[in-house]
A and B are shown apart, each in its own frame.
Chain A
Amino acid sequence: MTLVVFVLASIMVLGGGVGVVIMRNPVHAALSLVLTLFGVAVHFVAMEAHFLAAVQVIVYAGAIVVLFLFVLMLLGVDKVENLRIEPLAVQRPLAAVMGMALVGLIVAAVIDTRDAVLTGVGGGIDVAANTALAEEVGGHDANIRQLSDNLFSQYVFAFELTSVLLVVAVAATVLMTRKLPDRPDDGGGGE
């Protein structure tokens, strides 16, 4: 059963990923991205990361992709891109070779260190073994309890800093995209 879930979600993830790269229309690419994000959310559920699965669907598929589509529509750049024109003739083959090399290297490292990770920890190797670990902390909401415990104790300072990051990002975007007043040197002030 877990195998079926893994295979189906992986097909979603990889199919969506390939779709983002090869779709000529940016809107179709954004919708392929949604497919990938849902596939990753399914994987999160399979790995008992329930909170992150929910956040993945709400924030990524809900907010970020909608933002992408909004900008695409707003700017009217949802035209079909001609992918046949390529200014640099060698770029695509080089990119393909580099991608293959990157994936090959990472997969080789993963396969190589598989046993090293195994001996380093006493826990189980698979999803089922970790269920016991989650349940010993307790209940169906164990994942959220553990996550919030970790987030608000060990990483509370980083959590506070993210608020600074978000405020800076919002302020910068508003400042950057607003229409400039008649006098460019006006500095602050409204529209």
Chain B
Amino acid sequence: MIADVVPTTTWYLVLGAVLFGIGAVGVLVRRNPLVLFMCIELMLNAVNLTFVSLSDRLGDIGGQTAVFFVLVVAAAEVVVGLGIVISILRRRAGLTADDLTELRG
């Protein structure tokens, strides 16, 4: 009976892998820095999913603690990254990652 099938850890790990791949492809093909940040968030979420599924699988709460720290670091990363984007946009009009080939302000 198909309703009795219970999703195992492997399913979650595969889902996390696919989500990580989507995020990685997004980082490679998109050129808007803000969308790049969103794709990085996708990859972080894929890793979080993997952490929690293995934490559940192994009965070890340490994986969920790691996710907690990933959340904190992701928040700090977004704050700093958006600050950089804002200060770049103050100096030049265009906003694609291709325009930012030099470190010169």
Dominant secondary structure at the B interface: helix
Residues of B within 8 A of A18 (CB): 22
Q: Are B22 and A67 in contact (CB under 8 A)?
A: no
A151 to chain B minimum Cβ distance, whole angstroms, is 5
Known contacts A68-B78, A81-B35, A102-B24; 7 additional CB pairs below 8 A are A30-B38, A33-B38, A48-B56, A49-B55, A55-B71, A68-B37, A130-B59
Complex formed: what's the CA distance from A174 to B75 in Å? Answer: 15
- Cβ contacts A to B, 22 pairs, < 8 Å: A1-B3, A14-B15, A17-B26, A18-B22, A43-B12, A47-B52, A49-B64, A49-B67, A51-B64, A52-B52, A52-B64, A59-B71, A64-B78, A71-B34, A91-B29, A92-B29, A106-B17, A110-B17, A117-B58, A126-B8, A143-B64, A147-B68
A188 at the interface (CB under 8 A from B): no
B79 contacts chain A at the CB level, 8 A cutoff: yes
Q: Which chain A residue shows the least CB distance to B85?
A: A71
**By the criterion CB–CB under 8 Å, are A64 and B74 in contact?**
yes
Q: How far is the CB of A66 from chain B (nearest CB, A)?
A: 11
A residues in contact with B23, CB < 8 Å = 17, 20
A-B pairs with beta carbons under 8 A, tally: 228
Q: Does B103 count as interface, using CB distance less than 8 angstroms?
A: no
Interface size on A, residues (CB 8 A): 85
A-B residue pairs, 4 tightest by C-beta: A95-B28, A103-B21, A99-B25, A173-B83
Q: A44 to B32, Cβ gap below 8 A?
A: no
The answer to whether residues A37 and B53 also contact, given A17-B19, A166-B76 and a CB cut-off of 8 A, is no
Closest approach, in angstroms, between the C-beta of B55 and any C-beta of chain A?
7
Q: B82–A21 contact, CB under 8 A? A: no
> Which chain B residue shows the least CB distance to A99?
B25
Interface residues of B (CB under 8 A from A): 2-3, 5-15, 17-26, 28-32, 34-35, 37-39, 41-42, 45, 48-49, 52-53, 55-59, 61-62, 64-65, 67-69, 71-76, 78-80, 82-87, 89, 95, 98
Q: Contacts A6-B7, A36-B45, A68-B38; is A95 near B61 (CB within 8 Å)?
A: no
Known: A10-B15, A147-B64. A17 touches B42 (CB 8 A): yes
Give chain A interface residues in 1-18, CB to chain B under 8 Å: 1-4, 6, 10, 13-14, 17-18
Residues A59 and B17 in contact in the complex (CB < 8 Å), given A21-B29, A68-B37, A81-B31: no
Q: Is the CB of A55 within 8 A of B25?
A: no
